Every structure is written in structure tokens, then in C-alpha cells.
Amino acid sequence: MALRVVRTAVVAAAVLSLGACQVVQFIFGSVFPATVPLLEATADLSSVIPSGFSGTLRLRLVEAGSTTYVILAVSNGVGNVTAYVYDTNLSRKKTFTGLAGDGVMIDSSNRLVIGSSLFNLSDLSSAGSISPTILTSNGASSGLDGFVDSSLNQLANMSISSSTLNWLIYPVGWGSSTPQSVAISSGQSFNLDAVVPDASPTGSVLLAGEPQGGGGGGNNKGTTEYFAVAPKNGFSPASAFANGPHRDNLLSTSIGYVQGSILAYDMQTASFVRLDPATASTTDTFSTNGDFSNAEFAYSSGGGSFYVYDRQTRVLDKYAQWWK
């Protein structure tokens, strides 16, 4: 009884001195077993997203300089998208409703784009529209929905049709686009699961795709993901998935590209894995007792933390990085 009173007093003092988000780390940081990643903050969306929601959910993280937002785009169809925008400590900053699309990126003028709406990064105030252009996620579960190269070209609206990758190049200020396409395999059809650019305009982009009807490999858990890394400048990932590195049993909504490594959740082993992009071989792993099989993931490009939205509990969590 005395121990319970003391622990209650300690927690109460922590609430007063640290604030709610930090208290999560204070309470659990020293008692979490090694098989659970360190929880740093949480946001409950069960009051705004109904149980059993059947629409599309996309978790995105955008970064520009010192500004970072975590965005959950919830779609019931074109013209009916709601975006919940959080800071890195999962304090909700804005809720946007009635958006035209669920695609998310930072454009060449350093503005946040969601669908066809533009927002200033400093205060998330309206900065106009790119209508009739609509930025869409095109089925890509992980990453972002467009990126900017060092010439300020905006590459967006990527999709795969059979074995061909398609995208559009927009100039500064948007306007008319130039269509581009390239064969990414020798006839095999793929679904596009991830488009994950790194933080540098002269950097690279990770693409991930699963063979249509390919299943999850021998264990039939998760999906078999093929990977390719292409430079942003002169982007043209020809034959990207032809005999490329691949890995079975991955959760398609868990793919990240952080500090030159692929991060994902392995459905067979219930563990987080870090992979070498050149070979898809495992370079680090973290086994967990938690169930992340119904989750959407987003990662800070420089490491330090990652975010997970659980479709069943409808809770968004921030975790400290598990990888070394």
C-alpha cells in the first residue's frame, strides 16, 4: 500500500513538472521490457475516426528545415478527405476538412500540399490552391506522394500500370505537367507500396513494390517487397524491380528510408528490421511482443523517432528509434 502511494505521488509530480507527452516517457521509460520500443507521446483519434472505418488512411511525415509535421490523411473519396496535422510531440495543430485528395508533400516553394490545397509551413494558414491538379497517394502506403529535385522540379502522382512506372513533372508554381514513364520490370506486374524520398534535394528516393498476386513468400505473411533506390535528379528508375533486391513477409505500410537504410516491420517474426538497400539483407533487428500488423508507419528522415497509427485502437504513437 505504501509503495502504491509513493508511486502515485511520483507520477503526480511528473505530470505537474513534465506535461502529458513527456510523462509517457517518464512513467514507462525505465520499466518497458527490451521487446517494446520506448513510447514517447500518444494521440487518441478514436473520438473522430469511427471503429471499423473502411476508407483510406495515410500517415505522412513532412520535413522542411526545422519544421516537421505528422499528418494523418483520412479519405472517404475524392473531395472528402480530412487531414489531422500534428507537431513532433503529437500535439494537434490543425484539422483540415473537405480536401480534394489525400496526397501529401512539400513543394518547391516550401509549402505543404494536401490534395489540391496549399498551406504555409510556419502557421499552416492557407496559401491557395493548385486546382485543378489533385495530389493523390496512388496506392503508395508508405513515404510521401511527391518530391522536389535540385532544379525545383516537382515529381508527383506516381503510379504503376502493370510493369510501367508513371509520374508527372510539374514546374515551380505547378501549372501544366509533363508525363513521364519507364518500364520497371520485364513484364511482371507490380503494386506501388512506397515512395520515400530522403531529405536532400540532391539525394535519392526509395521505391518499394510488391508483385501482383505475389503473396508474402513461403510463409504467406505480409508481402514480398522489391526495392530500388534512384537519384532525384534525372529520376528515371528503369528496370528498378527487375531481379532487384527483395524481402518476404514485410508489412507494406511500414516501409521507411532513414540514413541510407530501409526500415520495415517483419510480419513473420513480429520484429522491426533494418535492411541494406543494395541486397535487402538484414543489418539490424528488434523483436517486439507488440502487434503492429494493423498499423501505418512514418519515420523522421534523420532518425531519432518514428510514428505508428494503429487502425484498430485508432491511436497514434511516437516511439524512440530502436535501431542503432
Tell whether 224 and 249 lie within a shared domain.
yes
Q: Which residue has the cell 527490451?
A: 34
Tell whether 18 and 106 lie within a shared domain.
no
Give Cα 189 distance to the centre of its chain.
24
Number of domains in the chain: 2
Tell whether 106 and 40 lie within a shared domain.
yes
Tell whether 98 and 236 lie within a shared domain.
yes
Tell whether 135 and 283 lie within a shared domain.
yes
Tell whether 111 and 56 lie within a shared domain.
yes
Position 114 scores a pLDDT of 97
Tell whether 11 and 58 lie within a shared domain.
no
Report the share of the chain in percent with pLDDT over 70.
85
DSSP output for 113-150? EETTEEEETTT--EEEE-TT-----TT--EE-SEEE-T
Tell whether 10 and 88 lie within a shared domain.
no
pLDDT score of 36 more than 70: no
Q: What is the CATH number of the domain that holds 42?
A: 2.130.10
Reported pTM: 0.87
Tell whether 141 and 225 lie within a shared domain.
yes
Position 19 scores a pLDDT of 43
**pLDDT tens, position by position, 72-111:** 999 986 678 999 999 999 999 999 999 999 999 999 999 9
Tell whether 14 and 71 lie within a shared domain.
no
Tell whether 10 and 38 lie within a shared domain.
no
Tell whether 266 and 225 lie within a shared domain.
yes
Rounded Cα–Cα distance for residues 217 and 296 (Å): 21
Range of the domain at 12: 1-31
